[in-house]
Amino acid sequence: MTELTGRVITPADAGWETARRGFALWPDYDAATPRAVVFCQETGDVVNAVRWAQENRVPVRPRCGRHNYEAWSSLVKDGLIIDVSDMDNVSCSSSGVTARVGAGIDMLDLAERLGQSGVSFPLATGKTVGLSGLTLGGGFGVATRKWGLTCDNLREVEMVIASGEIVTASATKNPDLFWASRGGGGGNFGIATAFTFAVHKVGNVAVFSVTWPWEAFEAVVAAWQTWAPNVEDSLTSFLTLLTTRTLTMQGQFTPDSDADLPQINTLLAPMLAAAGPTAVNIQMLPYLNAARLFMGVDPLQPEWRVQKHSDTQIFKSSSALVTQPFPPEATTLLKTRLEDYPTLSAAPSQPSMIQLLGGGGAMGRVPREDTAVWHRAAQFVVQYDAYWTAPQDGKATLDWINAFRRDTIPYTVGAYVNYADDQLKNPLHQYYGDHLTKLKQIKKHWDPGNFFRFPQSIPVS
Ligand SMILES: Cc1cc2nc3c(=O)[nH]c(=O)nc-3n(C[C@H](O)[C@H](O)[C@H](O)COP(=O)(O)OP(=O)(O)OC[C@H]3O[C@@H](n4cnc5c(N)ncnc54)[C@H](O)[C@@H]3O)c2cc1C
């Protein structure tokens, strides 16, 4: 019989509560208590965990950064959480064109470690987001239009499959598994233990933030949605529309050479002309400092590193994709919905909002058949985010955000698999479109017993 190896934490151990919980603070973790969490230190620990679970018929959940919106990576009744977050090595190749990265690293650590070698690849802006979930589901960030999604930069993945074997997938080895590992979503085919990514040399970038008065809503949304997906690839932006009636665009211009940095003024000009802003802030800074800025990290107060899983929230988020600009009536709908935000009994941890994340560019040029990412034609992603703190405010907030998304369905398509939402109808079709058929075939080949499963996992048939 196989034994569990690595750092094994059970309900009897100190640190159990921290070990078992996810980023989302609202779930009833007692309703689906695992029997243990194994923090794997090396690939062999993952192999042992999979074999042990198979021999003992125990359900498993792979886990990395714990940021699954529905906390499915942390909720498995009497099961085993196989956590890779201690596996966080980073080594850049001597040629400087690739980096091999442990599957458990989070965004800020990764940005810092790559930064030491003067390279990067597209990362998420959430500092504690895990690399595994991000990559396997796609991965948007402030360099997406320049270098594609995180998964577009993946060159190889090492995975422990349901049989306990270690397999490598790349364009030439097990290409079907490699295809599925780029957008097919985490928790479906095996447990990633290491990734090899193409990396890009980084220099200085221009980071910008522009704020407009609420009265400019229609003009700014109309201008942004034709500008953001079509502006030069080096510029990625997102437009944040807050229930506090604030309208802000942020983003990053990542030129190939510092000499091109002043172009930011010309690139932003159409947006500045769309309506008079109340504030414009443009900073030139090293790529790593920009990453820290987007991740909200104050370098003088790095204590989050000591207790990073104290970074939790009560929230509900969802997504949709837009392939044609919103017609005027859809823009009016967005504004009305934001203004109709319910009155809560306690201030939320942060304002609820929708964010529009600019697509197109390098992400849009990858042929749809090349990876499992279905929504290549998206001009932008809509992210719906609702926050509350007092339990009695949960229902009103959830009703508001769920209705918001539902009302915009006529103007949007599908959903982004990394923004897991248990309220979606036909979620797998929304995430994967026609790729679902191929994903099921690949699942059947690599996991015929459906060992890796959770509420929205890819079935074998
Ligand atoms: C605060 C916040 C900020 C975010 N910012 C961004 C952003 O900027 N861009 C963006 O694209 N997305 C963003 N996301 C969404 C994020 O990409 C997804 O939530 C992602 O799935 C998180 O991955 P994780 O490893 O942290 O989560 P986990 O909950 O650990 O895992 C997510 C899924 O992957 C599976 N999984 C985990 N590890 C492995 C593994 N090693 N092998 C196989 N399967 C595994 C899990 O079982 C689960 O199904 C954000 C989310 C949050 C909460």
Mutating to test ligand 1, I would choose from 39, 64, 349, 383 the residue with most ligand atoms within 8 A of its C-beta, which is: 64
- The 10 Å CB-count burial string (b at 16+, else e) for 143-175 is bbbbbbbbbbbbbbbbbbbbbbebbebbeeebe
Measure 245 CA to ligand 1 centroid, in angstroms. Answer: 29
Given the CA of residue 317, which atom of ligand 1 is nearest to it? 53
Confidence band, pLDDT 50/70/90 cuts, at residue 311: low
Give the closest residue (by CA) to ligand 1 atom 4.
126
pLDDT in tens, 110-131: 999 999 999 999 999 999 999 9
Q: Which amino acid is at 267?
A: L
Structure tokens of 248? 């802000």
CB 431 within 8 A of CB 378: no
Taking residues 140-168, what's their average pLDDT?
98
Model confidence pLDDT, tens digit, residues 321-354: 999 999 999 999 999 999 999 999 998 888 999 9
Q: What is the pLDDT of residue 52?
A: 98
Using a 6 Å cutoff on CB, does residue 337 contact ligand 1?
Answer: no
Residue 306's pLDDT is: 43
Please state the rounded mean pLDDT for residues 234-244: 97
Asked whether the whole model's pTM tops 0.95, one would answer: yes
Query: Which domains are present in the chain?
Result: 7-83 (3.30.43.10), 90-201+436-446 (3.30.465.10)
The overall average pLDDT reported for the chain is 95
- Best residue among 37, 73, 131, 422 to mutate for probing ligand 1, ranked by most atoms within 8 Å of CB: 73
Q: Write out pLDDT tens, residues 184-211.
A: 999 999 999 999 999 999 999 999 999 9
For ligand 1, whether the C-beta of 277 sits within 6 Å is: no
Strand-strand pairing, 154-160 and 191-198: antiparallel
Burial category of 210 from C-beta neighbours within 10 Å (exposed 0-12, middle 13-18, buried 19 and up) = buried
φ/ψ of 105, rounded to 5, equals: -70, 155
> Of 422, 355, 424, 446, nearest to 69 (Cα)?
422
443 close to ligand 1 (CB < 6 Angstrom): no
Residue with the nearest Cα to atom 51 of ligand 1? 67
Give dist(CA 394, CA 396) in Å, integer. 6
